[in-house]
Amino acid sequence: MENLSMRWGSNIVLDDIDLRLQAGERLVVVGPSGSGKSTLLRLLAGLQLPTSGRLRIHGEPQTYLRLDQRHPPDVRLVFQNPALLASLSVKENVGFLLYRFSRLSEQEIAERVDMALQAVGLAGIEEQMPGELSGGMQKRVSFARALIEDPTAPQSLTPLLLFDEPTAGLDPVACTRIEDLIVRTSELVQASSLVVSHVMSTIDRCAERVALLYDGRFRWIGAVEDFRVSTNPYVVQFRSGSLQGPMQPAEN
Ligand SMILES: Nc1ncnc2c1ncn2[C@@H]1O[C@H](COP(=O)(O)OP(=O)(O)OP(=O)(O)O)[C@@H](O)[C@H]1O
Ligand SMILES: [Mg+2]
């Protein structure tokens, strides 16, 4: 990202930011509510175009995602809310990409859906509907959907995995399972990962680097070891959860 800005009317959400994610790196982005974290992920996924600046993936400018096209760079987004399609079964949700674009048979897709559900600890629920699942289960199904592999797709360079608050609202054991999954998957497919999270255990387990976003800008970027001890006022306030400090809650 170079000089990347995103605004909605007079609301400047991202203000001239620069960030380079290394191939294979896991970065956790933290920042208060409304600071633009989800916006950043949507830009990376091609769901929105920036107001100005450059966003390149493997050196190629990111383009606006079209539903009828396969996206050339392999970018997968796990949304902040599960965003499952309510009228489709778990199998149809998880296998959505494969049903739509791959040349795999029904049987081959079913096997891959089964593997993806096993990976998130939800084997055997493929015929259920999203409305029959708990919130945490829906979240894990959305994870399986993002992680499913299409062996008939052209081989892509390092995939980019984007996780928007993947462990918010989960119990501590479910958190650990998801955090392990993020690390394992990133290593398995040699992906770069960008994880948005406020959960300390997720930062501890998933981050190699941490970036703190506030009021449109990265206020601190560094190694996770440094994040734990940094005396930067933004980092100190984030770690302590104090009301005193440079970060003030949004007015609404
Ligand atoms: N489609 C849109 N139209 C207008 N404003 C928007 C739109 N999407 C986001 N915004 C604004 O952009 C800002 C950042 O929103 P964003 O969802 O990226 O925040 P966030 O950091 O992910 O917050 P949270 O931690 O609550 O998820 C907010 O002020 C929001 O109102
Ligand atoms: Mg968000």
C-alpha distances in Å from residue 159, one per residue of 66, 103, 123, 142, 190: 18, 21, 25, 18, 7
How much distance in Å is there from the Cα of 202 to the middle of ligand 2? 16
Identify which of 4, 10, 38 to mutate to test ligand 1's pocket (most ligand atoms within 8 A of the CB): 38
Q: Is 127's pLDDT higher than 90?
A: yes
How much distance in Å is there from the Cα of 160 to the middle of ligand 1? 22
Query: What integer best gives the mean pLDDT of the chain?
Result: 91
Three-state secondary-structure class, residue 116 = helix
Q: Is 252's pLDDT higher than 60?
A: no
pLDDT at 91: 98
pLDDT at 80: 87
Is residue 138 within 8 A of residue 130, CB to CB? The reply is yes
Structure tokens at 31: 């920042």
Q: Does residue 33's CB lie within 6 angstroms of at least one atom of ligand 1?
A: yes
Write down the domain spans for the chain: 1-74+158-252, 85-155
Contacts of 166 by beta carbon, 8 Å cutoff, 6+ apart: 78, 139, 143, 178, 182, 195, 197, 202
Q: Which pLDDT tens digit goes with each residue over 80-112?
A: 899 999 999 999 999 998 998 888 999 999 999
Q: Of all protein residues, whose CA lies closest to atom 16 belonging to ligand 1?
A: 36
Percent of the chain, pLDDT > 70? 96
Q: Of all protein residues, whose CA lies closest to atom 7 belonging to ligand 1?
A: 8
Q: Of all protein residues, whose CA lies closest to atom 2 belonging to ligand 1?
A: 8
β-pair type (56-57, 217-223): unpaired
The CATH number of domain 1-74+158-252, selected from 3.40.50.2300, 3.30.70.3270, 3.40.50.300, 3.20.20.80 = 3.40.50.300
